[in-house]
Amino acid sequence: MCRFPLRVLVLEDHSFQRRLAVSMLRQLGCREVFEAADGAAALALLQEVGPVDIALCDLRMEGMDGLEFLQCAGDTRQVGSVILSSSLSADVRRSVRQIISLLGLEFLGDVGKPLCMEALQALLKKHLPAPATRCGPAPAPERIQEHELRRALQAGQLQPYYQPKFDLRTGQVRGVEVLARWVHPGRGLLSPAAFIPLLERCGLMDALLFGQMEQALDLQRQARSQGHALNLAFNLQAAQLTNDELAPRIKALLKRHGAAGAGLTFELTECGLLQATQTSIKNLVRLRMMGCYLAIDDFGTGFSSLQRLCALPFTEIKLDAEFVRALGHEPRCQAAIASTLALGRALEMSVVIEGIETEEQRQQLLRLGSTTGQGYLCARPMSGGQLLHWLGQQRICA
């Protein structure tokens, strides 16, 4: 039985550390383990043995350093994923992680130094496909065709799923984000990554939005009848804001459902707002005039403009989950979260922290002054029926 059917390259200039890493990887059952003392030697080795699944990579070394090696390996696609093993400061390693992502490489994690076998094993597991295919290559996903997607929209297969936003102090639900899932008759439940890019190319994002809104407003009414007031948060793209008919269509939909604009939030990513057009700004203003709330999503991942944040009528900041993942070991992330919370208070905007998965993270965020969050600690995305049942059980996260 193969435990880790992986080809791994260890790039480490310290001979003892390199031997230790190679020994651990072999004990963990990696299929092939290669080693090199600097980047140039590692590139020469890859030319000889072929691509590897993972590079366990130090950064600072004589000759070609780890960063230059990753640049070259990324360009030639000789490395699939990267595990960092470095004693450099946390802020430097965090910047390197961003570079790894920009190079198109998968970042599995940072084991630091000295190496720990348990931590290394956990990161190797992240690279593996589903258990049923661990000892063989994963089958390539079938390409989704436009006609198939249009048929799915008409058949109601693209369903809204709901993930709660919760009060970090009490665990009470403050609202839900409405997410798209494709309930495919043959492939099961598909995530947005499988179909949203095609929806964008085909100009079908409005069809998805209004289909979701129809179903979600019905659910909001059912929840209200059970004593639960739910704010519904929908994702909007910058391209959708350029449509003059967007706000009037939303207004008509609310009127037909007898719903208030104050029960809706629209979330927009900051990167899409760098070149807001006149029509985009008018749509945002009209949504606010209807009583709807506006959130700037994935805050901190793009090139934020404070001028834009002040000029556009936002009411909420959603801080990206990456800051929470690094909360326990990177002081700069703690400072970024605290600064964003202070910014929200100064601008009279609420701040929602995404990606909360552990009780420790919740307690840390409370100490920093955060009050609202979203993540698996409270609940995963669920169907409408599951959400009503979940609310009926009065489950809380505190």
Active-site amino acid positions: 354
Longest dimension (CA), the chain: 71
Between CA 356 and CA 375 the distance in angstroms is 4
Tracing tokens 């000889």 back to the chain, one arrives at 48
Q: Considering only CA atoms, give the Rg of the chain.
A: 24
- Report in angstroms the alpha-carbon separations of 66 from 15, 20, 55, 96: 16, 18, 10, 10
* SS3 state at 329: coil
Tracing tokens 């992502």 back to the chain, one arrives at 101
Residues with Cβ within 8 Å of 158's Cβ and at least 6 positions away in sequence, in order, are: 152, 180, 181, 182, 183, 195, 208, 211, 212
Between CA 110 and CA 64 the distance in angstroms is 20
Q: Amino acid letter at 105?
A: L
* Token pair for 257: 């459902």
Q: How far is CA 275 from the centre of its chain?
A: 23
Residue 168: which of 384, 366, 391 has the closest Cα?
Answer: 366
Q: ω before 114 within 30° of 0 (cis)?
A: yes
Which DSSP symbol is given to 272?
G
- In order, the DSSP letters of 227-270 are T----EEEEE-GGGGG-TTHHHHHHHHHHHHT--GGGEEEEEEG
